[in-house]
């Protein structure tokens, strides 16, 4: 089977970066009241700036998700990738602009790409990487020669304060308690950001510049062992099951904020390291997929700075000690962009000139939706 190479990478961010003091000016307050959760969450996640596809003056949307992904593809062409050589366009996202048609078709419609195979990958943080794996498998098998993949998010559209006001106004007790949202919903308003990344892959390395050979994309789901943790378009019931939006009348979609992105924070903290770090790394090391001492760069997509040291401790516990001086992340300046995060992290490092020929990279992408995870092994050639 053939080798597969990442030839070029590009990213796109909407508008100017937003610092912590101006988030609510862009997203808006809930029922006119500052969040009581914001300060606590921002101190923990250590994010200092992020991007929103919202005009800070008019508060109107400036870019759709599909438009941001298309802009990243345009930047990929500017970076030197022949986008019209691609035979596949695979796009992953958590936050498509619509239920139907598929997200990748909408991205294709925003570009000048020729007719080609298009595939949409649904999910949360892993959807971007699984789009890349689709392209990887297609090239490796000999089915195609070249592909473009994207990871993109426009989560700000659903995080505006005005979207939560019907829920607040419908609950008298919440009004008495400073009109605060439940923590599982307000928590993510200070965690998530907008952005897009694009990767150009082919069966041949660049002739005159560095490429990254994809050696392995390893993924595991533990959904059969744990209940739902991060969700949208449903409500999580007391018994741990979920009830989808179609089981609610439209009025309840508003009063219960059914389409808000929510997080079971207690379940997250109790299981995220065991199921997205320890268990998969244990399996990978047992199968001798890589040697920790040979890794030159570790690129983790953790959602919050709160998890950094905990991640390192868990890696050491399983026998995968990669010192933090080998780590690279841009969470502090780019925020948590979900499925686009690994694209955005990898793009910045790849285009920085810091990677040297022969160096090995390990990427880590966890997903708390129902606890799944992936690791990608790369070598600079």
Domain with 171 in it: what CATH number?
A: 3.40.47.10
Q: Are residues 286 and 186 in the same domain?
A: no
Q: Are residues 14 and 143 in the same domain?
A: yes
Q: Are residues 160 and 86 in the same domain?
A: yes
- Asked if the structure places residue 258 within a domain, the reply is no
The 10s digit of each residue's pLDDT in 292-349 is 999 999 999 999 999 999 999 999 999 999 999 999 999 999 999 999 999 999 999 9
Q: Could you tell me which residues come within 8 angstroms of residue 325 by beta carbon, excluding any fewer than 6 positions away?
A: none
Q: Are residues 191 and 219 in the same domain?
A: no
Q: Positive or negative, the Cα torsion across 90, 92, 98, 99?
A: positive
Q: Are residues 278 and 187 in the same domain?
A: no
Q: Could you tell me which residues come within 8 angstroms of residue 273 by beta carbon, excluding any fewer than 6 positions away?
A: 307, 310, 311, 314
Q: Are residues 101 and 174 in the same domain?
A: yes
- Asked if the structure places residue 48 within a domain, the reply is yes
- Asked if the structure places residue 278 within a domain, the reply is yes
Count of the separate structural domains present in the chain: 2
Q: How far apart are the first and last CA of the chain?
A: 18
Model-wide pTM > 0.75:
yes
Nearest Cα neighbor of 129 from 213, 223, 219, 64 is 219
Domain range for residue 321?
214-223+263-380
Higher-pLDDT residue of 219 and 186 is: 219
Q: Are residues 204 and 276 in the same domain?
A: no
Q: Are residues 9 and 145 in the same domain?
A: yes
Mean pLDDT of the chain: 93
Q: Are residues 66 and 120 in the same domain?
A: yes
- Asked if the structure places residue 256 within a domain, the reply is no
- Asked if the structure places residue 239 within a domain, the reply is no
Is 289 a residue whose pLDDT tops 90? Answer: yes
Between CA 204 and CA 374 the distance in angstroms is 25
Q: Are residues 47 and 171 in the same domain?
A: yes
Domain closes at, from 210, 234, 251: 210
Q: Could you tell me which residues come within 8 angstroms of residue 349 by beta carbon, excluding any fewer than 6 positions away?
A: 297, 299, 328, 355
Under 8 Å between Cβ of 340 and 65: no
pLDDT bucket at 32, cuts 50 / 70 / 90: confident
Q: Are residues 96 and 181 in the same domain?
A: yes
Q: Are residues 27 and 63 in the same domain?
A: yes
């Amino acid at each position: 089977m053939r080798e597969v190479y990442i030839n070029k990478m590009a990213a796109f961010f909407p508008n100017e970066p937003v610092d912590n003091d101006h988030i609510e000016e862009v997203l808006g307050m809930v029922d006119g009241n500052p969040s009581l959760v914001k300060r606590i969450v921002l101190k923990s996640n250590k994010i200092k700036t992020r991007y929103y596809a919202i005009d800070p003056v008019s508060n109107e949307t400036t870019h759709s998700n599909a438009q941001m992904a298309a802009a990243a593809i345009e930047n990929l062409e500017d970076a030197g990738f022949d986008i019209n050589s691609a035979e596949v366009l695979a796009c992953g996202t958590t936050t498509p602009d619509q239920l139907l048609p598929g997200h990748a078709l909408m991205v294709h419609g925003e570009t000048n790409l020729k007719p080609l195979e298009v595939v949409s990958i649904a999910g949360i943080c892993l959807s971007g990487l699984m789009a890349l794996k689709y392209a990887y498998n297609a090239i490796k098998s000999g089915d195609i020669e070249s592909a473009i993949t994207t990871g993109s998010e426009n989560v700000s559209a659903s995080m505006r304060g005005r979207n939560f006001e019907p829920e607040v106004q419908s609950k008298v007790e919440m009004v008495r308690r400073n009109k605060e949202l439940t923590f599982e919903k307000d928590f993510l308003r200070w965690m998530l950001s907008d952005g897009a990344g694009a990767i150009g892959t082919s069966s041949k390395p660049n002739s005159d510049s560095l490429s990254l050979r994809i050696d392995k994309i390893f993924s595991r789901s533990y959904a059969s062992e744990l209940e739902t943790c991060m969700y949208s378009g449903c409500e999580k019931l007391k018994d741990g099951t979920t009830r989808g939006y179609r089981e609610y009348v439209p009025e309840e979609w508003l009063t219960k904020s059914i389409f808000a992105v929510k997080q079971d924070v207690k379940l997250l903290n109790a299981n995220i390291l065991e199921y997205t770090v320890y268990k998969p790394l244990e399996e990978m090391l047992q199968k001798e997929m890589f040697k920790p001492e040979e890794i030159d760069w570790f690129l983790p997509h953790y959602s919050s700075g709160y998890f950094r040291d905990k991640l390192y401790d868990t890696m050491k516990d399983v026998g995968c000690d990669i010192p933090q001086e080998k780590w690279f992340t841009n969470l502090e300046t780019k925020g948590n962009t979900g499925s686009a995060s690994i694209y955005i992290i990898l793009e910045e490092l790849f285009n920085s000139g810091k990677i040297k020929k022969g160096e090995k990279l390990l990427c880590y992408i966890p997903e708390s939706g129902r606890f799944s995870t992936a690791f990608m092994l790369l070598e600079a050639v």
